[in-house]
Amino acid sequence: MSDTPHIDIEKVANLARIALTEEEKATFSSQLDSILGYIDKLNELDTSNVEPTAHPHSVENVWRDDQAESELPTSEALKNAPKERQNMVVVPKVVE
Amino acid sequence: MEYEAVIGLEVHVQIKTESKLFSGSRAGYGYEPNELVDPVVMGLPGSLPVMNKAALDGIIKAGLALNCIIPDQCKWDRKNYFYPDSPNNYQITQYDQPICDGGYVEIELEGETRAVMGEHKKIKLTRIHLENDVGKLNHFAEDSLVDYNRAFTPLMEIVSEPEMHSGAEAFAFLTAIRQTMIYCGVSDCDMEKGQMRADANISVRPVGQKELGAKIELKNLNSITGVKNGIEYEIKRQTQELKKGRAITQATWRWDADQGRTELMREKEDAHDYRYFPDPDLMPVLIDDEWRNRIRAELPELPFDKQRRFVEEYGLPYTITSVLVPDQELSAFFESAAKESPKQAQAIGNYVTNDLLRELSEQEVALDDCQITPEHLLSLVNSVEKGVITKQIAKDVFIEMFNTGELADAVIERKGLKPDFDEDQVKVWCQEAIDENPRPVEDFKSGNEKALNALLGQVMKKSRGKANPQTVNPLLRSMIS
């Protein structure tokens, strides 16, 4: 196990659907750990008087009117699909 | 031991817009697969989402109609998961700052009979948030095919508090939401087209116990009836398990409408870890009073309010209002006639809910396309009111109006339905009826009220249906005694 105080690298890799070698696990977990360590440092700041923000820019209400624009041709849209049939993307059978 | 069920619903409703929630491709149903897609919908690198203002207006309208608070600010978060219905591997949704907070839905339970109003209740809402819909999977024997036409259609998630207790309540809840959304023009809520979808969280506990029982999430409730039946089945199943002393394990089950039973989909794996975080591609939304008030001013009179007003203002019986009110257009049609002649509102309501609906359905015509206007209804009720024609003949006149578009007066004139005799003639017929039918006369004299109907029938026959029973009846009475 390459657990560190901050991160369970196997869990994170699994959530991201990434297969890691033992070597990569060690590298990434130390890198991620230092990033999260930095967050710890930020946590030391007293932010009780600071408004929470969801975005670094002070821009709000950016939108467009509800107007339809031209679409991507189906053939273009499916170009990246590993496999297609009946103009749909073929994926392994999913049971839900 | 007695058990009770506790039910919470999550209702997804598509907002009716021209284009998608975060991009310009059309939003619609019934297109060729993957025809309504663009780089944002397909999650192509470099594409950026931009909010659709109409979707925001739509959810604010829905929220105000369902008595929610619309906070000053909401924001967008990414819900991360891998599933082929989403090429982005995340859904844009609202985690901790939904656009609508709290609220409640007024519901009506079924009355004892169709003529009686059922109990009304308020079911609290937790929140309503906006998110992008996802693609649709079509399952085949060997693989699944994905169509992304539906992806990124604006989708509201209406979350109730766990405070319903039966399938009937859930049914009433969905019906109320559906009618409210249709009234507001926010969605058509056609479940067959996936415009409204519901999942239920159901648990059962001994009556009196405070803690909730283990929760079963029930999926695949594809119709409002499916919701009712699925939930009722699931409550019965859980109750039986508990009575047998077995524990319920938290899991996801699905409703199989064909088999009429629920089946296990999956036991609860590790709790999902969606790693929500604020979407850096989208700016927060700030909502001020001006915006809220503009939308509030657009709200229509809501269904239950209209129903109460119809009863109060026009003295309509519940049965008529319960047919009129679910149909906004029909209600407006009724009212444009009724407000011209409020005293005859009930008669107008009867023609609309009986005769008009029957002809529309028999002749497969939409209200918009039929020739009957409020003016036609008024001409008909006035002819009856003035005693020109009987109620019985009015039924035929209605059909004639429906078929030709003529007003009642014209139909009556053309078909010669107006009485072509005076009151003296009616008296003559009454006397004849009395003379020719000694038995009923005797019966009536000895107290059999119903015997009068035989005589009345004779007079109607003699007048070829044109005499007015309301004048004939007292005439006969006075002539016999």
The residues pairing with B467 across neighbouring beta strands, listed in sequence order, are none
In the CATH hierarchy, which fold is given to the domain comprising A1-44?
Histone, subunit A (1.10.20)
Give the best-scoring range by mean pLDDT among A28-32, A44-48, B317-321, B424-428. Answer: B317-321
Average pLDDT of span B390-403: 92
Confidence (pLDDT) at A3: 47
Q: With DSSP H G I counted as helix, E B as strand and the rest as coil, what are the percentages for chain A, rounded to 5?
A: 35, 10, 55
A62-93: per-residue pLDDT in tens?
999 999 999 999 999 999 999 999 999 999 98
Whether residue B44 has pLDDT greater than 90: yes
Confidence (pLDDT) at B76: 96
Parallel, antiparallel, or unpaired for β B216-221 and B251-256? parallel
Give the best-scoring range by mean pLDDT among B127-131, B140-144, B213-217. Answer: B127-131
Whether residue B270 has pLDDT greater than 80: no
In the numeric block, the tokens 């939304």 are attached to B285
Mutate to test the interface with B, among A18, A71, A86, A87 (most CBs of B within 10 A): A71
Whether residue A13 has pLDDT greater than 50: yes
Average pLDDT of span B175-195: 97
Contact A63 B18 (CB under 8 A): no
Helices marked H in B299-422: 303-314, 318-324, 328-338, 345-350, 357-362, 374-385, 391-404, 408-414
The torsion defined by the Cα of A28, A31, A37 and A43, in degrees rounded to 10, comes to: -90
pLDDT greater at residue B265 or residue B152: B152
Contact B18 A66 (CB under 8 A): yes
Q: What percent of chain B has pLDDT over 70?
A: 99
Confidence (pLDDT) at A1: 40
Whether residue A32 has pLDDT greater than 70: yes
What are the start-end ranges of the E strands in chain A? 63-64, 84-85, 88-92
B43 touches chain A (CB under 8 A): no
DSSP secondary structure letters along B239-258: HHHHHTTPPPPPEEEEEETT
Confidence class for position A2, pLDDT limits 50, 70, 90 = very low
Nearest CA in chain B to A17: B82
The alpha carbon of residue B216 and the mean position of all alpha carbons in its chain are separated, in whole angstroms, by 28
Whether residue B317 has pLDDT greater than 60: yes
B211-247: per-residue pLDDT in tens?
999 999 999 888 999 999 999 999 999 999 999 999 9
B48 touches chain A (CB under 8 A): no
Say how far apart CA A21 and CA A19 lie, in whole Å.
Answer: 7
Q: Where are the domains of chain B?
A: 3-291, 301-414, 423-480
Q: What percent of chain B has pLDDT over 90?
A: 78
Confidence (pLDDT) at B86: 94
Whether residue B457 has pLDDT greater than 60: yes
Q: Where are the domains of chain A?
A: 1-44
Residues of chain B contacting A17 with CB distance shorter than 8 Å: 82
Confidence (pLDDT) at B1: 84
Contact B146 A86 (CB under 8 A): no
CATH of range B423-480; options 2.140.10.10, 3.30.460.20, 3.40.120.10, 1.10.10.410: 1.10.10.410
B320-333: per-residue pLDDT in tens?
999 999 999 999 99
Nearest CA in chain A to B148: A88
In the structure, how many helices (H) and strands (E) does chain B have? 16, 17
Whether residue B467 has pLDDT greater than 90: no
- φ, ψ of residue B219 to 5 degrees: the values are -115, 175
Confidence (pLDDT) at A53: 78
| Averaged pLDDT score across all residues of chain B | 93
Residue B384 contacts residue B391 (beta carbons within 8 Å): yes
Q: How far is A1 from chain B (nearest CA, A)?
A: 20
Whether residue B371 has pLDDT greater than 90: yes
Confidence class for position B269, pLDDT limits 50, 70, 90 = low
- φ, ψ of residue B148 to 5 degrees: the values are -95, 10
Query: What is the 8-class DSSP label of residue B354?
Result: I
Confidence class for position B161, pLDDT limits 50, 70, 90 = very high
Whether residue B388 has pLDDT greater than 90: no
**SS3 call for A61:** coil
| B465 CB-side CA count, 13 A | 11
pLDDT greater at residue B400 or residue B423: B400
Contact B286 A61 (CB under 8 A): yes
Question: What ipTM does this complex have?
Answer: 0.88
Whether residue A4 has pLDDT greater than 70: no
pLDDT greater at residue B16 or residue B450: B16
Average pLDDT of span B119-125: 98
Q: What percent of chain A has pLDDT over 90?
A: 54
